[in-house]
Amino acid sequence: MKMLTTFEQVVKYAESLPSVTVAVAAAADQEVLEAVLDAKKHRIADFLLFGDEEKIRSIGSEIGLDLAPGEVVHATSIAEACLLAVTAVSEKRADVLMKGMVQTADFLRAVLNKEKGLRAGKVLSHVASFEVSGFDHLIHVTDPALNVSPELKDKVQILENVIDFCHSLGLPEPKVAVLGAVEVVNPSMQPTLDAAALSQMNRRGQIKGAIVDGPFALDNAVSVESAEHKGIHSPVAGKADVLLVPDIEAGNILYKSMVYFAKAKIGALVLGAKAPIVLTSRADSAEAKLYSIAMAVLQADHFKKR
Ligand SMILES: CCCC(=O)OP(=O)(O)O
């Protein structure tokens, strides 16, 4: 498989794969339903939409989305919509779960439900992939949404999740930059100590399938000029495919800076679950949700081949 470097390529590749069924939790939202319409046009997915049926059908008819009787399942609350969508995936009536117009914490409560949930015994983590003008490859940020303040052992699993995800995008050995505020190990800054440990674990073969190095500050992770200027020599310096952020605050602010300042294209998933999960911000565009669905199609195919 050729390495995919733009979302156009991701969508095109998804078109060549078997289509999936996506269960959308709390689907009564214009951007969500526009993404549903676009994904259907690209023939990459079919849908089961959970939520306020009258509202879903009303928005659907406004945007020209024809919905068959069985495609919408009424739920009397957001919590019920989330649990019904998660159940559809755990019972294999759907292949992919998608967050609609619901707060991340409420959505995750259903994902983590003891009976019906989608945990696979691993740490769940979030990845947001960005296509940024001026960069010749996608940049994957993890974890901007789920793990609040991960410890070293959690970061190992977050790395394993994102490395496997990069492999699903045709990137056999992603370059991972472990970020901090500075590019030197400082005993009073825990993210720099974690970065040093993760780099060494990679060198010793404890973390495989990627080149991991750090700490890096953001500038020398993504700019060769900055790395050269600061005299940092590493195969990852300035060329990172993956940015492992220290915590959710740094990650979420970076995510939203990419969207609102850099006008980057974005797709986002939860990794480490039994099935691919689309998790974008409620405020993200229909385009971002479409790109996320396309990445989930690739993940579903990758799961089958593992
Ligand atoms: C990064 C996606 C998680 C997030 O911030 O979602 P909301 O904007 O919907 O809270």
Pair 225, 182 in one domain: yes
d(CA 255, CA 233): 27
Classify residue 45: in a domain, yes or no.
yes
Classify residue 51: in a domain, yes or no.
yes
Long-range contacts of 286-290 (CB under 8 A, 24+ apart): 286/30, 286/31, 286/32, 286/34, 286/35, 286/38, 287/35, 287/38, 288/259, 289/31, 289/32, 289/34, 289/35, 289/98, 290/11, 290/35, 290/38, 290/39, 290/42
User: Residue with the nearest Cα to atom 5 of ligand 1?
Assistant: 281
Pair 21, 116 in one domain: yes
CA of 187 to the centre of ligand 1 (A): 32
pLDDT tens column, 244-272: 999 999 999 999 999 999 999 999 999 99
Nearest Cα to 59, choosing from 23, 30, 34, 37? 30
Cα of first residue to Cα of last residue in the chain, in angstroms, is: 15
Q: pLDDT-based confidence at 59, cuts 50/70/90?
A: very high
Q: What is the pLDDT at residue 305? A: 87
User: Residue with the nearest Cα to atom 8 of ligand 1?
Assistant: 281
Query: Can you give the CATH number for the domain in which 164 is found?
Result: 3.40.718.10
Atom of ligand 1 minimally distant from the CA of 128: 1
Query: Can you give the CATH number for the domain in which 73 is found?
Result: 3.40.50.10950
Q: What is the pLDDT at residue 99? A: 98
CA of 2 to the centre of ligand 1 (A): 31
CA of 83 to the centre of ligand 1 (A): 19
CA of 280 to the centre of ligand 1 (A): 6
Q: What is the pLDDT at residue 247? A: 98
ipTM score here? 0.96
- Cα distances from 179 to residues 19, 159, 174, 263, in angstroms, run 36, 13, 15, 22
Write the burial class of residue 66 (CB in 10 Å: 0-12 exposed, 13-18 middle, 19+ buried).
exposed
Is ligand 1 within 6 A of the CB of residue 104?
yes
Looking at the 3D structure of the chain, how many domains does it have? 2
Read off the pLDDT of each residue in 54-74 and give the average, rounded to a whole number.
97
Q: What is the pLDDT at residue 293? A: 98
Pair 47, 94 in one domain: yes
d(CA 219, CA 90): 42
Q: What is the pLDDT at residue 245? A: 98
Pair 170, 54 in one domain: no
Is ligand 1 within 6 A of the CB of residue 292?
no
Is ligand 1 within 6 A of the CB of residue 252?
yes
Q: What is the pLDDT at residue 209? A: 98
Q: What is the pLDDT at residue 132? A: 98
d(CA 125, CA 142): 7
pLDDT tens column, 146-156: 999 999 999 99
Q: What is the pLDDT at residue 306? A: 80
* Rounded percentage of the chain residues whose pLDDT exceeds 90: 98
Read off the pLDDT of each residue in 218-235 and give the average, rounded to a whole number.
97
Expressed as residue numbers, the domain containing 106 is: 7-120+273-305
pTM of the model: 0.97
Q: Residue 271 is encoded by which pair of tokens?
A: 């990794």
Pair 115, 132 in one domain: no
Pair 135, 203 in one domain: yes
Read off the pLDDT of each residue in 162-191 and give the average, rounded to a whole number.
97
pLDDT over 90 (residue 1): no
Pocket-testing residue among 252, 258, 277, ligand 1, by greatest number of atoms within 8 A of Cβ:
252
Is ligand 1 within 6 A of the CB of residue 283?
yes
